[in-house]
Structure 1
Amino acid sequence: MNLYRSARAVAGASGDDMIDWESAADAAKAVTDPGSLDLEPGEREAYARDVRDAREGIREVSGAAFDVPDTIEVQNRHHWIDANIATFERVMGTLQHQLPDGAFPGVARTINTGTMTVLLAFLGRNVLGQYDPLLLAETPEDDHALYFVRPNILSAAESLEVDPERFRRWIAFHEVTHAAEFGAAPWLSDHLEARMEEGISTLSEGSFDRDAFRELDATMTVVEGYAELLMDHAFDGEYADLRRKLDARRQGRGPLQQLLRRLLGLGLKERQYQRGKQFFETVVERRDLETAGLVWEGPDALPTQDELDAPGLWLERVDP
């Protein structure tokens, strides 16, 4: 790691945008060990096999017609930062376009760039796998992508004292469940993008669109909860110990890491997992897995915030 090079990159932030994205990426990589991509013989094929097996298993239990992304990458940490800086820039660019010219003078730009550096560096050292629907992509050929951050997977497996191949396979199944959701619901990307743009637009005007953010939270709760449901039914092995150990690892982080997780909204994501999983478990208990899949019939079929806490209300509305 090179703290001096990172600080120099942040201090040299320039341009007209709220964040100097190139400087943020350079600074984040300067303080992040990229990790090794020296794959063992057959390891790349093992990643591909895990993804194929996950696709077939999830297709079978969900009945959803979907395919995995064309882009499947085994990355190091620097690759992940480079892949995601464009995503952050697209999302934040929505806010940038709502603001008057000159809204971000040099000092503010430097602070924003430093904040983005911390975010990218922290996530780059912790993300295991990622299904990226490439929201707000401008060109049709930008489809969706699936990333595996090999150094983080190996490091986490070692610290959790679990078999790295089984752990890698579990990560593959989880990320492919998200591909299944977006494949089963072609409208989902547009729905998420619209809610994001609505919320960001009002923030730029100095107000807060509570309804837009509540709807975005409800949708993401469904996305995370349905993924957990499919994992329970599709993964071809025992994984309760993996989840238990990973949850314990998250809870056992130091005060600074816990603070960063809260600031980055990772605690919210875990709440979405738990709340969404409980919703779908209740739906399947009262009906079946096929009924749970009705959430992807269209935006109107998504449960509201109230229905997430009372699945019976949702069932009465969509499958009386």
Structure 2
Amino acid sequence: MNLYRSAQAVAGASGDDMIDWRSAADAAKAATDPGSLDLEPGEREAYARDVRDAREAIRTVSGAEFDVPDTVEIQNRHHWIDANIATFERVMGTLEDHAQTGAFPGVARTVNTGTMTVLLAFLGRNVLGQYDPLLLAESPEDNHALYFVRPNILNAAEKLEVDPDRFRRWIAFHEVTHAAEFGAAPWLSDHLETRMEDGIAALSDGSFDRNAFRDLDAAMTVVEGYAELLMDHAFDDEYADLRRKLDARRQGRGPLQKLFRRLLGLGLKERQYERGKNFFEAVVNARDLETASLVWEGPESLPTHDELDDPGLWIQRIDR
């Protein structure tokens, strides 16, 4: 880790865009220890086995026809940063198309690049696994991807005092549930992209499209909640202790880290987990898993914000 080199990369930000993406990536990596990729004998096969087992178990439970992405990588933190630069650039591209450069574009670019550096470095040190549906990709033929950030998985398992092999398997099952969702709902990527673009475009024009962001939040709540539902039914081991320890770890964060996570929207993600999980538990208790899976019939089948808090309303609507 070299903080001087990181600051130097940010200070050297150049180009015509709001963010110098190459400088942001270089600075984030300079500020982040990459971690080890010295795999133990059989470890690579263990990752592959976990993904295969998760695919078969989730297919059986959900009835969804899907496959895991062609790209499945075991990464260090620097690999994750490089893999996600293109995703961030695509998402921010909509904003850049509408943004005004201002009187001091060079200063704004340096500030924006520094902000993105902090974001990438923080996430690079904390992301455990990632299913990437490649939202806003230029080509529809681009493959989805599945990443495991090995140093972060081992570090989290050690801090949580859990078996690293079991923890790795749990992460694999969780990420493969997301592959199942996008496989069951081919329209989901376009729906998320459209609402994201609408919201960002409105912000760029100085307004706030409340409906776009509410729809995006509701859809992501369904994505996270359904993943939790499948985990409950597909994972081949008890993991209540893992949830308990992860929740305790979140509660034990310092005030600055909690604030930073809130600014990054990670607090929202945790709320989506809980809210979505409660919705699907209520639906399954009232009906069954097959009924819960009807959310993937089309965008009109997604629960509204009111229905997420009152699952009975959603059940009544889909029964009509």
- Where on the TM-score scale, by shorter chain, does this alignment land: which range? over 0.9
User: Once the 2 structures are TM-superposed, how far is the Cα of residue 103 of structure 1 from its aligned partner?
Assistant: 7.6
Asked whether the equivalents of residues 62 and 293 of structure 2 are also in contact (C-alpha less than 8 Å), the reply is yes
1:13 match? 13
1:92 match? 92
Say whether residues 1:278 and 2:300 are aligned partners: no
2:74 match? 74
How far, CA to CA, are the matches of 2:166 and 2:101 in structure 1?
51
How far, CA to CA, are the matches of 1:313 and 1:200 in structure 2?
30
Say whether residues 1:228 and 2:225 are aligned partners: no
The letter for the 1-side match of 2:274 is: Q
- Structure 1 segment 157-306 matched on structure 2, within 5 A: 157-306=157-306
Deviations 1:34-82 (A, max 9, x none): 0000001110000000000000000011011111000000000000000
Asked whether the equivalents of residues 36 and 151 of structure 1 are also in contact (C-alpha less than 8 Å), the reply is yes
Q: Compute the RMSD of aligned alpha carbons.
A: 1.0
How far, CA to CA, are the matches of 1:41 and 1:166 in structure 2?
17
TM-score using structure 1 length: 0.98
Can you give the 5+ residue segments of structure 1 that lack an aligned partner in the other structure?
Answer: none
User: Once the 2 structures are TM-superposed, how far is the Cα of residue 102 of structure 1 from its aligned partner?
Assistant: 6.2
Say whether residues 1:49 and 2:42 are aligned partners: no
1:111 match? 111
2:317 match? 317
Asked whether the equivalents of residues 18 and 101 of structure 2 are also in contact (C-alpha less than 8 Å), the reply is no
User: Once the 2 structures are TM-superposed, how far is the Cα of residue 99 of structure 1 from its aligned partner?
Assistant: 2.6
How far, CA to CA, are the matches of 1:130 and 1:82 in structure 2?
14
How far, CA to CA, are the matches of 2:214 and 2:103 in structure 1?
28
Asked whether the equivalents of residues 228 and 273 of structure 2 are also in contact (C-alpha less than 8 Å), the reply is yes
TM-score using structure 2 length: 0.98
How far, CA to CA, are the matches of 1:124 and 1:241 in structure 2?
25
Among all aligned residue pairs of Structure 1 and Structure 2, give the percentage whose two residues are the same amino acid.
Answer: 86
The letter for the 2-side match of 1:168 is: R
Q: 3-state DSSP class of the match of 1:40?
A: coil
Count matched residues: 320
How far, CA to CA, are the matches of 2:117 and 2:303 in structure 1?
36
1:142 match? 142
How far, CA to CA, are the matches of 2:196 and 2:251 in structure 1?
29
How far, CA to CA, are the matches of 1:228 and 1:176 in structure 2?
11
Asked whether the equivalents of residues 18 and 104 of structure 1 are also in contact (C-alpha less than 8 Å), the reply is no
Can you give the 5+ residue segments of structure 2 that lack an aligned partner in the other structure?
Answer: none
Q: 3-state DSSP class of the match of 1:186?
A: coil
4+ residue segments displaced more than 3 Å: 100-104
Asked whether the equivalents of residues 128 and 152 of structure 2 are also in contact (C-alpha less than 8 Å), the reply is yes
How far, CA to CA, are the matches of 2:256 and 2:89 in structure 1?
26
Deviations 1:65-108 (A, max 9, x none): 11100000000000000001110000001111123466870111
How far, CA to CA, are the matches of 1:86 and 1:105 in structure 2?
22
Say whether residues 1:126 and 2:126 are aligned partners: yes
Deviations 1:190-209 (A, max 9, x none): 00000000000100000000
